[in-house]
Amino acid sequence: MSFLGPIGFGLWAYVALGAAALAVSAYIIKMRRRRFEVPFARLWQRVLEQKDANALWKHLKRLVSLLLILAILGILLFAALDPTLGAVDREARSVVILLDASASMKAMDGDEAGTKSRMDVAKQRAKQLIDSMGGGDVAMVMKVDGQATPMSRFSNDGPMLDQIIDDKIAASDTPADLPRALGAAADALRDRPHPLIVIISDGAFPESQLGHVEWGPPRAGAHANLAAIDLSNIDVRYLPVGRRSDNVGIIAFNVRRYIANKAAYEVYIEIQNFGQEPAHRQLTLYNGQTAVDTKRLDLAPGQHVRQIYPKIPGGEDNQLRATLRPVDGPGGTDSFALDDTAYALLPARKKQKVLMVTSDNLFLEGALLVYDNIDPLKVSPAEYAAKPSIADGMDVVIFDDYTPDALPPPPASLLFFHPTGEHSPFAIRGMAQTPHITEIDEGHPVMRWVTMSDVYMDKSEVFAPDPKKGESTLARSVTDPIIVAKRDGRRKILAFGFSLPANGRDSATDLPMRVAFPMLLVNTLDWFAGDQADLLTTYATGQRERVPLDGVVGATEAEVKGPDGTITHTPVLDGLATFYGQKVGYYDLTAKANGKAIASISLAANLASASESDIAPSSSLTLGGKQLEAPDAFAITHSQKLWIYLLLLATGLIVMEWVTYHRRITV
């Protein structure tokens, strides 16, 4: 017989002695009785005198009651030692079960028939481990996907842990972050006796994750590896799951518009056969619900295919989807469906209404004509002055060498060439003669791919931008701001200090003759529209990204609507929202201020992980150069727990004592 209780014999003996002393003293201490007045106590005296003839028996009955109580106490304390029939020769352990819930655990190869997923088998293994825990063993269950999430505290409550595994753990769409999980487990096990980590996984971890482990004491000084996970004195075991490796998956999928022709786009797709056999698939590319292209792929084992679909004409829908479907016949099986579909989004494209307030400026009109994504309208300054409401409903208003008395109302963005006077949108502090642009803000979207170092201009207004109002300088001549921009709520305002050449003007610049001029206009209109050429809208799941939200002012939080319709919230800082894709599919991020949506963006999330798509199970796992063994310490011992029977016996004795006391037998 073994005793697996959580307390030692010494402490147990103290508790037993204390409890026995309490029980005996309870019998010795005089009972406080209720007082009642009677008319003639002599009668009771005579009765008691007769009863006292049986005093010995009475004392014996009290002794029987005391012995019953002591027996109950003894049985309960004995049960607390968790007496177990059958030998167990190990000490109590503290166990962290790392249950891999990454995307590859969705592979349906848990059994030969393909009816169970790896996750199902992993859960089954975890529950077997928990059921075989001995007395004193405590376990914590931790879910490992893109994050490491402890699902329980350390507990020896087997049914509770089993229920957590059944109800709260499911495979996600993200790769596993094993180093993070190992670090969290090591921290949880710090200073606990006999620490043990059991990894239940298919072993689909990138090599880069497996080297961050130090088994010995951490090195100090210059050789210290700050990223290393200290697993010294911790026993780490590995329980593999998974059977098959046949999988063809999309490991990269993205799309972008052409800079010159935003009506068209090109698609990049990367596919790999991770199986040991040749595979045949049908790849179909959808724009919305419309199939754009379909082709058959014949992939050799391990073959890696990159596909580019150039110059695909734009459709009404911005959502792109690529699917892989097995082809009937040999090489058409696939155990892992998650990477067979990938999603991408085209950056939003909107035709802008542009109002030009100009006196027949050929350079300006000509440059705008090359941009097919606008709907231009031209009026003269006199017409505009007579009817400013003409700007209502416009997305962009361009003032060419004309400064209106009042700015058009938002949300129209404004482009000024040579604003003057007190109505200028930017304060003017002087005039510069023959300025040379010496510095530009290359990080600003308007100045991207633009060179202005040798542009000639005979004169230019010099602005006095106020950074406190969000005004920034895009180009300056030594210290004189020549081109300035600012956000004014949701709209944007850009001003050039010089005017473009035109009939009747005495100013002169060669900017319209340069390549930079149409580029400047296109960049400006794209910036006004919030369209950034290098904006990525497709991300990998399980990674934290910062996504720009155009025009966000005053919002600290954005609402994220996931592929399954769930609503979560993410922080927004400096116009950048944090995005973490938990599932593959389309997401909508909406920033709100005062209850109104002020900016939104749609994003797509894909697994996009070759290591996760490579579902070939690994029967062994090597961490930090050490191959992990199976957790034989949890081999199930055939033991018979006695505490339940002892508890039943104690309950029976308590009932007997209660009955005999209340029937005044043991009183």
Partner 1 sequence: MAAPATFVPITRAANPARDRSGLFDEKFLKTLEHLHMVSRKVFSGNLRAERRTRKVGSGIEFADHRTYSRGDDFRYIDWNLYGRLDKLLLRLFEEEEDLHIYILIDVSDSMAIGSPLPKLHYAMQVGAALTYVGLANLDRVSIIPFGDRLTDRLPLSRGKNRIFRVFDFLQKCPIGGKTELAECMKDFVTQNKRRGLAVVISDFYDPQGFEQGINTLRYYKFEPFVLQVYDVREASPKLHGDLALVDCETGETKEVTVSRSLLEAYEREHAKYCKELESYCTKYALPFFRTHTSIPFDELVLKIFRSGGFLR
- Contact residues for partner 1, defined by CB under 8 A: 31, 33-48, 50-51, 664, 667
Give whichever of 14 and 44 is closer to partner 1, judged by the CB atom.
Answer: 44
Q: How far is the CB of 654 from partner 1 (least distance, A)?
A: 20
The number of CA neighbours under 13 Å toward the Cβ of 168 is: 14
Query: What are the helix (H) ranges across 190-239?
Result: 207-210
Q: Which is nearer to partner 1, 65 or 600 (CB)?
A: 65
Joined tokens for residue 257: 């518009």
In angstroms, what is the C-alpha Rg of the chain? 39
Q: Which of 626, 633, 579, 631 is nearest to 601 (CA)?
A: 579
**In what helix (H) or strand (E) does residue 525 lie, and over which residues does it extend?**
helix 516-529
Torsion of CA 620, 624, 629, 635, to 10 degrees: -120
Interatomic CA distance for residues 305 and 296, integer angstroms: 12
Residue 350 or 662: the one with the smaller Cβ distance to partner 1 is 662
Nearer to partner 1, 31 or 220 (CB): 31
Under DSSP, is residue 421 helix (H, G, I), strand (E, B) or coil?
A: coil
- Residue 591 buriedness (CB in 10 A; 0-12 / 13-18 / 19+): buried
Residue (655 or 667) nearer to partner 1, CB: 667
CB 49, min distance to partner 1, A: 10
Count CB-CB contacts under 10 A for residue 57.
9
In terms of Cα–Cα distance, which of 202, 83, 329 is closest to 611? 202
Give me 635's structure tokens: 């081999």
At its nearest, how many Å lie between partner 1 and the CB of residue 24?
A: 19
Cβ-based nearer residue to partner 1, 58 or 194:
58
Q: How far is the CB of 79 from partner 1 (least distance, A)?
A: 31
Complex with partner 1: residue 11 or 47, whichever CB lies closer: 47
DSSP element (H, E) containing 304: strand 304-313
- Which one-letter DSSP state was computed for residue 193? S
Which string of DSSP letters, residue by residue, matches 626-652? Answer: EEPBP-GGGPPP--EE-HHHHHHHHHH
Minimum CB–partner distance for residue 641 and partner 1 (Å): 40
Q: How far is the CB of 663 from partner 1 (least distance, A)?
A: 8
Closest to partner 1 by CB, 55 or 644: 55
Q: Do 118 and 105 meet the contact criterion of CB atoms below 8 Å apart? A: yes
Q: 53 or 406: whose CB is closer to partner 1? A: 53
In whole angstroms, the minimum distance from the beta carbon of 33 to partner 1 comes to: 4
β-bridge pairing 576-580 and 544-548: antiparallel
- Let me know the angle formed at the C-alpha of 360 by 355 and 361, rounded to the nearest 5 degrees: 85
Smaller CB separation from partner 1, 30 or 311? 30
From 205, 212, 182, 213, select the one nearest 195 (Cα to Cα): 182
The dihedral over CA atoms of 246, 252, 255, 260, expressed in degrees to the nearest 10, equals -130
Question: Which is nearest to 520 in space by CA: 593, 437, 461, 578?
Answer: 437
Q: Which is nearer to partner 1, 21 or 667 (CB)?
A: 667
Closest CB to partner 1 among residues 41, 636: 41
User: Which residues lie closer than 8 Å to 652 by C-beta, 6 or more apart?
Assistant: none
Q: What Cα–Cα distance (Å) separates residue 489 from each residue in 291, 349, 441, 525, 667?
A: 40, 21, 22, 17, 89
Compute the least distance from the CB of residue 58 to partner 1, in Å.
Answer: 9
Which residue, 58 or 280, has its beta carbon nearer to partner 1?
58
User: Cβ 35 to partner 1, closest distance in Å?
Assistant: 5
Alpha helices in 196-270 (DSSP H): 207-210
**Residue 652 C-beta: closest distance to partner 1, Å:** 24
* Closest distance of CB 657 from partner 1, Å: 16
* Cα torsion angle, 183, 187, 190, 192, sign: negative
* Minimum CB–partner distance for residue 47 and partner 1 (Å): 5
The nearer residue to partner 1, 51 or 387, going by C-beta atoms, is 51
Pairing of strands 319-326, 304-313: unpaired
Cβ at position 70, least distance to partner 1 in Å: 21
CB 106 within 8 A of CB 149: no
- Assess contact for 489 and 410: CB atoms under 8 A: yes
Q: How far is the CB of 38 from partner 1 (least distance, A)?
A: 5
Q: Nearest distance from residue 51's CB to partner 1, in Å?
A: 7
Q: Which residue lies nearer to partner 1 by CB, 32 or 638?
A: 32
First to last CA, the chain: 38
